Amino acid sequence: MRPVHLNSGRLKNIDIAIDRLYPAMARTVKTVDWDVLVETVRALPLYVAHKAYVREKILLNKPDVSVEEVVERLGATRGEAMVILWELRKTGQEVLEMLEKKMEDRPVSSFAAVGGTFSTIHVGHMALLATAYAKAEKVLVGVTSDLFAAKLGKNHPIPPVEKRIGMLRDFLGKMGWLDRTELAVIDDPYGPAVQDPTLDAVVTSPATAFRAAEINAKRVERNLGPLEIFVCPLVVADDGLPVSTTRIMAGEITFDGKVVRKGLERS
């Protein structure tokens, strides 16, 4: 097949990510137009099912899974495996580059819910929030109360809710999202999402996607329509493991996923 080359600007970012995450595929993929590959893969009959399987059954258990391992598990082509991992997994650097570009949002939802503890604002939170504001015109951001946060069994100190909301507001303001935001302190995993009739979507991380199904079940019990579910990418540090507040506060990684020291207990 005759290779089609990408323009230099787009190729630079793709080259960096391919070299870092998919070294075995780098030589092959760089000769193929990425947009064409993505479009072709998304048209495959099993693409949606394969992507869901990787997100729910593989990625959370093995966040540093390779393209070759996905090919072996699914019997998929290498191109499909690479596109799936590209969409489901991002590095901290990729998230920061995405935020710098400030790509134009094209909301498909009028009002979406998202939640978290937000003890510190790291690239995982940034990917979660970026997904929410890309998908919705307005976003309800639930922040766990001090009492609820204390029950979550976090392996790190949790700042008071006022401080956490302050950090969140600062970040949203810098991104130009604050005027599209409604903040709420929540005392359970669901918050207003189970009872607010004006909501039409919910955004979760891969690790908390199961909560979205629980929210929709509770909405049905209240004669409310289910929310459309959007799941943000899993954000991994440079060592291929997920970015988390626990790892940051333990001094293992930085907020953007750079490795500081290795061998610490993870949770």
Q: What is the CATH number of the domain that holds 171?
A: 3.40.50.620
Shared-domain flag, residues 127 and 230: yes
In this predicted model, what pLDDT tens digit does every residue of 233-257 receive, in sequence order?
A: 999 999 999 999 999 999 999 999 9
* Domain assignment of residue 261, yes or no: no
Identify the pLDDT of residue 261.
Answer: 77
> Do 67 and 40 belong to one domain?
yes
pLDDT in tens, 211-230: 999 999 999 999 999 999 99
Do 108 and 78 lie in one domain? The reply is no
| pLDDT tens profile 69-97 | 999 999 999 999 999 999 999 999 999 99
What is the predicted pLDDT for the residue at 12? 42
Q: Are residues 150 and 205 in the same domain?
A: yes
Domain end point (choices 89, 117, 141): 89
Both 68 and 22 in a single domain?
yes
Task: Show Cβ contacts of residue 77 under 8 Å, excluding neighbours closer than 6 positions.
Answer: 71
Residues 47 and 115 in one domain: no
Identify whether residues 71 and 178 lie together within a single domain: no
Residue 260 lies in a domain: no
Asked if residue 198 has pLDDT above 70, the reply is yes
User: Residue 43 burial (CB < 10 Å; 0-12/13-18/19+)?
Assistant: exposed
Both 76 and 111 in one domain: the answer is: no
Residue 211 lies inside a defined structural domain of this protein: yes
Q: Are residues 122 and 40 in the same domain?
A: no
What is the pLDDT at residue 153?
84
Q: Is residue 215 part of a domain?
A: yes
Predicted TM-score (pTM) of the model is: 0.84
Tell me, yes or no, whether 33 and 110 share the same domain.
no
Which residues are 235's β-sheet partners? Answer: 90
102 pLDDT more than 50: yes
Residue 255 belongs to a domain: no
Is residue 248 in some structural domain? no
Percentage of the residues of the chain whose pLDDT score is greater than 90: 79
Q: Which of 22-36, 87-101, 165-179, 248-262 has the lowest mean pLDDT?
A: 22-36
Residue 94 maps to a domain: no
**Among 66, 89, 112, residue at a domain's last position:** 89
Is residue 96 assigned to a domain?
no
Domain extent, residue 163, equals: 104-235
Number of domains in the chain: 2
- 47 and 157 within one domain: no
Q: Are residues 70 and 145 in the same domain?
A: no
